[in-house]
Amino acid sequence: MLILGLETSCDETGVALYDTGRGLLAHALFSQVDIHVEYGGVVPELASRDHVRKALPLIQQVLAQAGCAPQQLDGIAYTAGPGLVGALMVGATLARSLAWAWGIPSLGVHHMEGHLLAPMLETEHPEFPFIALLVSGGHTQLVRVDAIGEYRLLGESLDDAAGEAFDKVAKMLGLPYPGGPHVARLAQRGTVGRFEFPRPMVNRPGLDFSFSGLKTFTLNTVKTCRAETGLTEQDLCDIACAFEDAVVATLVIKCRRALEQEGLTTLVMAGGVSANHKLRSQLQQAVAKSGARVFYPAPEFCTDNGAMIAYAGAQRLLAGQHDAADASVRPRWPMEQLPPLTPAAVE
């Protein structure tokens, strides 16, 4: 089954072709970072307008790259939520119009299910059941995954998402949007241990997170440094390092706790923050100690992309699911509301 995937939930236009027999055939991405950077964050209206400009050329590019004609497609998957409503509408309208014109089914995919299943695109991929740590710009969640569409939320951030905290700290340090990779780069030159930042909520039972206190702590440290000696380049590196260490340590502790609580030995990490090197290596080390294994997507499929939407959509289209005539986008959409993969399992 050959599926075209389209991602337009935020500030990346992602397109991919996935074949359930042959795997990922082609993918292309246009990032709008340069458009939004001067505003320090995503401007929804500008995001929608640029998806309109980029989506169709990217679809043509991907079809040409794979040497496929539209007549060979068996379905189109697009991101139906969660995300920016205007941006979602662009992808949904385009995908559904093409599907109608080409006489094939379309399916609205959950963006976080896309992230969650992105590690399945790798040759060495996880087996169900597993614990998923979803760490992105809008989400920080621990999910028990028994199969596609069988998700139980174990814990989540009570305030900011981890990626959002990275982005806000980047602003405090004078770094451009999106800040995660910039903070990580600065942290590499930081002196470990000069600043000790709190590990939020690790001493409380449960699997929820909170990152807003850490953000305030970071701001106060910036202010103190500035008042005492003026903010030096080394101060910035040391603060970035302490912040990153605190986020990573917190995520690692909660992942181990989730595996233990659920009696599982497979951990999957996905979403933009899962591209973070320190998080990847520390999680790997910590989890290996307890005999568990961790899987994550290739770095290019950690942040938003079309491949993850094509993959998730392909699994569901293959199981016979497709849009109803009155399908709509869902700017807010709890992942636990998704149907299981096999219709027979609904009962």
Q: Is 74 annotated as a binding residue?
A: no
Q: Is 248 annotated as a binding residue?
A: no
Residue 272 binds ligand ATP, judged by CB under 6 A: yes
User: For the chain, first and last CA: distance in Å?
Assistant: 27
* Closest to 5 (Cα-Cα) out of 43, 53, 49, 58: 58
Are 346 and 147 within 8 A, CB to CB? no
* From ligand ATP, Fe ion, Mg ion, none, interface partner of 119 (C-beta below 5 to 8 A by class): none
Q: Is 180 annotated as a binding residue?
A: yes
Are 46 and 339 within 8 A, CB to CB? no
Q: Is 15 annotated as a binding residue?
A: no
| Residue number, 167 or 304, with CB nearest to Fe ion | 304
* From ligand ATP, Fe ion, Mg ion, none, interface partner of 166 (C-beta below 5 to 8 A by class): ligand ATP
Q: Work out the number of other CB atoms within 10 angstroms of the CB of residue 347.
A: 4
- Span of 130-138, 197-205, 216-224, 230-238 interacting with ligand ATP by CB under 6 A: 130-138
Q: Is 83 annotated as a binding residue?
A: no
In angstroms, give the least distance from the CB of 184 to ligand ATP. 4
User: How are the residues of the chain apportioned to helix, strand and coil, as percentages rounded to the nearest 5?
Assistant: 50, 20, 30
> Which segments of 52-125 are extended strands (E)?
75-81, 106-110
Q: Is 136 annotated as a binding residue?
A: yes
In angstroms, give the least distance from the CB of 27 to Mg ion. 16
Q: Using CA atoms, how far apart are residues 19 and 318, in angstroms rounded to an integer?
A: 11
Q: What is the DSSP letter of 83?
A: S
Q: Is 146 annotated as a binding residue?
A: no
Q: What is the DSSP letter of 339?
A: P
Residue 166 binds ligand ATP, judged by CB under 6 A: yes
Contacts of residues 31-38 at CB distance under 8 Å and 24 or more positions apart, as own/partner, are 33/177, 33/178, 35/11, 36/11, 36/177, 37/176, 37/177
Q: Please give the C-alpha separations between residue 167 and each of 136, 162, 214, 240, 272, in angstroms, as whole numbers.
A: 11, 9, 13, 12, 11
What is the Cα gyration radius of the chain? Answer: 20
In angstroms, give the least distance from the CB of 272 to Fe ion. 6
Residue 139 binds ligand ATP, judged by CB under 6 A: yes
Kindly state the number of chain residues that form the binding site for ligand ATP, as judged by CB under 6 A.
23
Q: What sign for the dihedral angle of Cα 306, 336, 339, 318?
A: positive
Of the candidate residues 13, 136, 221, 250, the single one contacting Fe ion (CB under 5 A):
136
Kindly state the number of chain residues that form the binding site for Fe ion, as judged by CB under 5 A.
2
Of the candidate residues 10, 15, 268, 317, the single one contacting ligand ATP (CB under 6 A):
10
- Span of 116-124, 131-139, 173-181, 328-336 interacting with Fe ion by CB under 5 A: 131-139
- Span of 19-27, 136-144, 218-226, 328-336 interacting with ligand ATP by CB under 6 A: 136-144
Considering only residues 178-217, where is the footprint of ligand ATP by CB under 6 A? 178-181, 184
Sequence-distant (≥ 6) Cβ neighbours of residue 148 within 8 angstroms: 113, 117, 312, 315, 316, 340, 341
Chain centroid, CA 153 distance in Å? 16
* From ligand ATP, Mg ion, Fe ion, none, interface partner of 8 (C-beta below 5 to 8 A by class): none
Contact set with Mg ion (CB under 5 A) = 10-12, 304
* From ligand ATP, Mg ion, Fe ion, none, interface partner of 273 (C-beta below 5 to 8 A by class): ligand ATP
Residue 304 binds Fe ion, judged by CB under 5 A: yes
Residue 81 binds ligand ATP, judged by CB under 6 A: no
Q: Using CA atoms, how far apart are residues 80 and 101, in angstroms rounded to an integer?
A: 19
Name the residues that contact ligand ATP, by CB under 6 A.
10, 83, 111, 115, 136-139, 163, 166-167, 178-181, 184, 271-273, 275-276, 303-304
Q: Which residues bind Fe ion (CB under 5 A)?
A: 136, 304
